[in-house]
Structures are given as structure tokens and as C-alpha cells.
Structure 1
Amino acid sequence: MTRKHPFRPADLDGDRLALYRSITEGPRAQGPRLFDLVSDDGVLLGPFNEFLLRPALGDALQRVGAAVRYAGSLGGRAREMAILVVAAHWDSAFERTAHEAVGRAAGLTDAELAAIAAGAPLDLDDPDEAAVLRLTRALVTGDVNDATWAACVPPLDRETVFELTTLVGYYATLALQMRVFRG
């Protein structure tokens, strides 16, 4: 039994078609295309195809993702480091491939990308980036203890920590869904 049902654009209507268009014509489709959103036959790639299973839920989820990526306060490098920590923890190939490309465009070096993928120490000059990396690694492995909190807040403020925890939860959800549906 196949776990993934590819939704082709010609077969969509109503809420599914509206969600498809929101994903393919919204902020993810603007600017440079650093990774593909759709296959050659128009099927959504990565986690997005399964969003169409329950359009109301899928739309809410894709709006959270768009807010995290395009309306947050995290700098591009810090945001992509956090996403890549989640991708490495969940062994999410789609997110790793897509966000390594976005990370390179945001200024991450190949050495930094390799260290993030391996969970290796990474000496960062920017205190906010270092705090994001440390906090994200703590989040994906269980909890933020008092020592980690004290080391990360400041330089991060509570609003940024809220944004970061939302990002980690969102990308962990995507990784879980892709693992279940073999996306």
C-alpha cells in the first residue's frame, strides 16, 4: 500500500485547489527558486502534498511556516541554522537539501553546513547565531536547562525564543509527516 497519494493540479478543486495555489503562488514561490516546490507534473514536493489531505489544517500549517520564514525576526543565517539542526535531528532529507540551498544563499559556508549536519561544535562570531544554534540543539534533544537559558537569554530576547520554539516545532512536524508518509 502506498502511503503517499500525489495530488495533481488537474484533479484539485475547492479548498484543495485554493491551498495548492496558496503554496505555489505565495511567498515560497517569490524571489529566487532555491529548491523545487512542485514536480514536473505539478505535484507538490516535500511536506506540502500531504497538506492537501486536510486543507483547513494544511492551510493553517503552511501559514505558520510562511510566518516563520518570511515574517520572523531571526536573521537568515540563524533561521537556516535552526531549520538545519531540526532536519539533521530528524534525518529529513527534503528539509536538509532545501534549506542547505537557502542557507548558502543566506551566507552559511560549506564548513558551517557540515558542522550543523554532523552536530559538531561550531564557533560562531555572532552571539545571536551562537545562541540560536545552542538553543535549537537543546530543543531537539529534550529541554532547555537553566544553564542553556542563561547562556542564550540574552543575547536573545523572550520574543525571539518564542519564534525559535515555533520554528523548531513547525519543522519537526514536517519531518514527522514526511517520515510517516514517506515523502
Structure 2
Amino acid sequence: MILQTEEDSMRLSPLPADEWDDAVRHAVAGMLPEERRNPDDAGNLLATLVRHPDLTRAFLRFSFYLLSASTLPPRIREQVILRVAHRRGCTYEWTHHVKLGKKAGLSDADIAAIQSGDPADDFDRAVVGAVDELDEKSNLSDATWSALSDRLDEKQRMDLVFTIGGYTALAMALNTFGVEVEQER
């Protein structure tokens, strides 16, 4: 379970509907279907990020690649993102990616093992360990790189490193801005 702290207060609120101008719509164009290009349907993350449209557009392009076009298998991608979210205490990222992780084939036991840092499978341990190593040392050991190469090719290992870094940056932003998880409708 990820615990919120006093410092998790909202610092940047989602941009109100009456402030969604052409620059904001341009920032999310191509990343969101037209029916979601509004503050009610975009979600709190995007509705907050669009306070800086140029940054949002650039960041979304990179994030879209990591989430939708990366060479990483979805199950591994979600393991990585969940471990980042857990280590960073990012409730928003965790909440959204538990759902995506289950769609990608992670079981409740897999998710619990990601939190504890002790998956049963050797390769899953290497994936979770890669997140931990990069977080602690900004580098992977030769042993971890080798273990990852048992199932991941060069491009996939590159995508793994960038997924860890990208979602770490996102967790930092989410936590700092105080983006709240959406209420169920």
C-alpha cells in the first residue's frame, strides 16, 4: 500500500474548462481522441499538465511511445511502472497502472511481489531489480544487464531503461504537483 504524506497536497489544480484554449487542445491533439480533449474526460494528470502546453505536448509524445509503441512486452512494461510507482510512493501512477498491469497479465500475487521486491520468477526479479538499481545507482550492474538479455533484445533493454526513467520523472511530477486520483464516476 502506498501511503500519502502531508507533502502530497495539491499544488497545481487541473486547468478549469474555461481556460482550455487552442494551445491546450493542440497540446493533447494526437494523443487523445477528440471526445476526451476536455478537462472532465482527460483525467487529472493531463488536465494539470496542460497548464504548460508546450511541455505537455513534448512529454506526451515520449510517454505515448513508452506506453503504446515501446518494444517491451506489456507485462514487463507494467512491472517496471508499478515498481517505479511503489518506490516513488506515487499513488496516482500506482492506481492507474494496477488496472493496466492486470490487463497485461499480472496477477494480484505478481503485483504484491512487485511491491515487496521479491517476485518468484528469476526473470521478474531481474526486471524489478533493474528498477531498484537504476533508482539507487543510475546504472545497471553487468549481472542485471545479462539477466535481462536472456529474454530482452537490445532495443527492449533500451526501452526498459527509458521506461524506468520516464515513469520516474512522471512520478516526481505527479507527487510534486499533488495530482489526485480521479473519483470513480
Report TM bin, short chain.
Answer: 0.7 to 0.9
Deviation at 1:62, TM superposition (A): 0.8
Aligned to 2:59, which of 43, 51, 61? 61
Distance in 2, Cα, partners of 1:42 & 1:70? 20
Distance in 2, Cα, partners of 1:38 & 1:14? 12
Equivalences for residues 6-155 of structure 1 within 5 A: 6-25=14-33, 41-42=40-41, 44-46=43-45, 48-119=46-117, 121-124=118-121, 127=123, 129-142=124-137, 143-155=139-151
Distance in 1, Cα, partners of 2:77 & 2:94? 13
Deviation at 1:163, TM superposition (A): 0.6
**Are the counterparts in 1 of residues 28 and 57 from structure 2 also a CA contact under 8 Å?**
no
Alignment TM-score, normalising by the size of structure 1: 0.80
**Are the counterparts in 1 of residues 27 and 53 from structure 2 also a CA contact under 8 Å?**
yes
Which structure 2 segments of 5+ residues have no match? 1-8, 180-185
Distance in 1, Cα, partners of 2:38 & 2:78? 21
Aligned to 2:164, which of 161, 168, 171? 168
- Equivalent residue of 1:107, what SS? coil
Aligned residues between the structures: 169
- Equivalent residue of 1:83, what SS? helix
Deviation at 1:42, TM superposition (A): 4.7
Aligned to 2:155, which of 144, 150, 159? 159
- Which fold has the larger relative contact order, with Cα–Cα distance below 8 Å and residues 6 or more apart in sequence? 2
AA paired with 2:113? A
- Post-superposition Cα deviations, 1:30-74, rounded to whole Å, max 9, x if no partner, equal xxxxxxx987x456313x233212212211111111111111111
Q: CA distance change for structure 1 residues 9 and 19 in 2, over 3 Å: closer, same or farther?
A: farther
Cα root mean square deviation, aligned: 2.6
**Are the counterparts in 2 of residues 4 and 182 from structure 1 also a CA contact under 8 Å?**
yes
**Are the counterparts in 2 of residues 6 and 43 from structure 1 also a CA contact under 8 Å?**
no
Distance in 1, Cα, partners of 2:55 & 2:29? 15
Distance in 2, Cα, partners of 1:104 & 1:155? 21
2:182 matched residue in structure 1: none
AA paired with 1:25? P
Task: Single out whichever of 48-57 and 100-109 deviates more from structure 2.
Answer: 48-57
